[in-house]
Chains A and B, each alone.
Chain A
């Protein structure tokens, strides 16, 4: 699976949009971009995934560049409960396969 690069930490003001970047320059044509987050002392939680089109669900939006070498997870109105480590992962879709987690980005939402 392709390797991802994320900043180790970011801050965001409560109520503002949080934009979390991820680089995956070696992504293959059959690999999707996944985002999970892990709130302190809990297991990781799935957020969203996509191939090349932008995706939106009730939790977040995922913007993938046209060359697919990078992406941005957007939390439109961050709350204190969004404080967590956010992991960007790439892997082929449609099969039960393990997730390869990196170090992620620690997002701290400030009051």
Chain B
């Protein structure tokens, strides 16, 4: 079946611009997670949704970062006034109710802020 998909695969933007990153989880998965990964490091948690609501957003670095999941499936990570330090791979994962131990990851979106 289809896995987690993320679009775009690559995004290049200029400092100060606004970007949106999209995640399509596996159909039926109730939990959705966003992570970001800098070069040479492990993924770092940002936010996770249970259904439509953000169950834990403690990993968002500041108020320039925001994420939504209005219908409990697709999620969008929004970054305002991008900075060069936001450059990273943004990963999305989902898991199903009753099997939360296994998170399925997408291929990520590589964001480059010039």
Contacts and interface: CB of A to CB of B under 8 A. Distances in A.
Contact of B106 (A43, A49, A97): A43
Contact of B104 (A46, A94, A103): A46
A94 B56 CA distance: 16
A30 interface: no
Contacts of A93: 100-101
B95 interface: yes
A98 B101 CA distance: 10
Grouping DSSP codes into helix (H, G, I), strand (E, B) and loop, the B interface class, with mixed when no group exceeds half, is strand
B44 interface: yes
B16 interface: no
A24 to B, nearest CB: 15
A97 B32 CA distance: 10
B48 A96 contact: yes
Contacts of A85: 42
Contacts, number: 60
Nearest to A101: B42
Contact of B42 (A45, A95, A102): A102
Interface residues of B, number: 27
Given A94-B101, A98-B59, A103 B107 contact: no
Contact of A96 (B4, B35, B44, B50): B50
A43 B45 CA distance: 14
B102 A94 contact: no
Nearest to B105: A43
Contacts of B56: 97-98
Interface string A44-56: 1110010000000
Interface of B: 4, 30-31, 33, 35, 41-45, 48, 50, 55-56, 59, 91, 93, 95, 100-108
5 contacts: A44-B91, A94-B100, A95-B100, A98-B33, A99-B43
Interface of A: 32, 34, 41-46, 49, 85, 87, 93-104
Q: Closest 8 interchain pairs by CB? A: A43-B105, A101-B42, A96-B31, A98-B45, A96-B100, A46-B102, A101-B43, A44-B105
